[in-house]
Amino acid sequence: MRAIWKGAVSFGLVNVPVRLFSATENHDVQFRQVHEKDGGRIKYQRVCSIDGEEVPYSDIAKGYEAADGQMVVLTDEDLKSLPSRSSKEISIEKFVPSEQIDPLLFDKSYYLEPDKTGLKPYVLLRDALEKADRMALVTVSVRTRMTLAVLRVRDGVIVLQTLLWADEVRTPEFESLSEDTHATAKELAMASSLVDSLSGDYEPDEFEDDYSDAVTQLVATKIEGGDITETPEAKGEETEVVDLLAALQRSVDKAKAAKSGGSSGSGSGGSGSAVSAADSSDDSDGSKKTAEKTTAKKTTAKTSTAKKTAAKKSTTKKAATKKAS
């Protein structure tokens, strides 16, 4: 495992240097969205909902949508002004009874490993937690935002579990459960008997993720049977090529205008030889028309040349026939 954070647990006047490791990993089966016809991966573009244009990462900002639907765009300066903590300290606020922490509040779990210099105070904190049967309520800033967490002991290792804030837990409001309805004594006795018959200890290895195993086996069987899709290399999008050609054509036109003493705006600063993304997007319709006209001219020229060549060949053949006769 690789440590994702380094810091220290502040325990009274004692600091315990520790490293933080993720205690869990996701083994869910991951599927990709592909084109059924050829197996190509589905791509998603960042498109503005107003102008319909694709937006590069450099132009994407953070926005907060108010309750009335209005959007507030936040700048980097705005975000820097927000309260944040970047300290490397896990500060113990208090020790609370374990039963007071509702498991519903648990979010993410991490293992704490002591540095060599902090082994003794680490063991002291661990043993104190186990003896008191309490959890240490702490504040910690793993990245930039301070969060609430608890320290508890599992298999001889101190575990840090981040907590949800109180207002992040929803209040269940079900009308069907608001009625004063309870099981009868006979029903409760039968249910208790069933509970007793199914009682046992929790053994994690007793249960398996049969879905994940089945998917793995299914994929392996298809590969062995040659039932796979040969995915060709992804092709570049045609719109990007058209825009590039249009931008190049505009650059050529500007360079020609500058060379022939055209308008000052077209040839200023040597900008006619540069391909600008702004030029490509500001007048895309005009650029495409220009590219189409140029293509049409080239096609006409090629056709004319071909006709001349055919005419020459025909004349040569007739001359050769007269000589032969």
Query: How many domains is the chain partitioned into structurally?
Result: 2
Same domain, 16 and 156: yes
Question: Are residues 18 and 145 both part of a single domain?
Answer: yes
Residue 176 lies in a domain: no
Contact residues for 151 (Cβ-Cβ < 8 A; gap 6+): 9, 90, 92, 112, 125, 129, 135, 136, 138, 158, 159, 160
Residue that is last in its domain, among 166, 181, 200: 166
Residues 146 and 84 sit within 8 Å (Cβ to Cβ): yes
Residues of the domain holding 121: 5-26+83-166
Q: Do 160 and 20 form a contact (C-beta atoms < 8 A)? A: yes
For the segment 27-38, the average pLDDT, to the nearest whole number, is 82
Task: Answer yes or no: do 264 and 161 share one domain.
Answer: no
Among the candidates 131, 166, 201, a domain finishes at 166
Q: Are residues 116 and 20 located together in one domain of the fold? A: yes
In this structure, what CATH number is given to the domain that contains residue 20?
2.40.290.10
Whether the per-residue pLDDT at 125 is higher than 50: the answer is: yes
- Residues 148-192 have pLDDT tens digits of 999 999 999 999 999 999 899 999 888 888 777 888 999 999 999
Same domain, 162 and 244: no
Q: Grade residue 270 by pLDDT with cuts at 50, 70 and 90.
A: very low
DSSP-assigned letters across all residues of 83-101: ------EEEEEEEEEGGGS
Q: Above pLDDT 90, what percent of the chain?
A: 26
Mean predicted confidence (pLDDT) in 7-21? 86
pLDDT digits (tens, 9 = 90+) for 112-122: 999 988 899 99
For residue 154, being part of any structural domain is answered with: yes
Q: What are phi and psi of 9, to 5 degrees?
A: -90, 125
Q: Is residue 317 part of a domain?
A: no
Do 107 and 20 lie in one domain? The reply is yes
At 258, the amino acid letter reads A
CA pair distance 150, 56, nearest whole angstrom? 41
Cβ atoms within 10 Å of 243's Cβ, excluding its own:
20
16 plus 153 within the same structural domain: yes
Residue 151 lies in a domain: yes
Q: Which tens digits make up the pLDDT trace of 84-115?
A: 655 678 989 999 998 999 999 999 999 999 99
Q: Within 10 Å of residue 208's Cβ, how many Cβ atoms?
A: 8
The verdict on pTM exceeding 0.75 is no
In a domain, 111, yes or no: yes
Q: Is 229 part of a structural domain of the chain?
A: no
Cα 229 from chain centre? 26
200 is a domain residue: no
Distance CA 151, CA 162 (A): 9
Query: Do 114 and 11 share a structural domain?
Result: yes
* Strand (E) or helix (H) holding 72: strand 71-74
Whether residue 245 is contained in a domain is answered as yes
pLDDT (0 to 100) of residue 136: 94
The last residue of a domain, from among 124, 144, 166 = 166
Do 9 and 130 fall within a single domain? yes
Token pair listed for 296: 């049409």
Residue among 55, 98, 62 nearest 80 (CA):
62
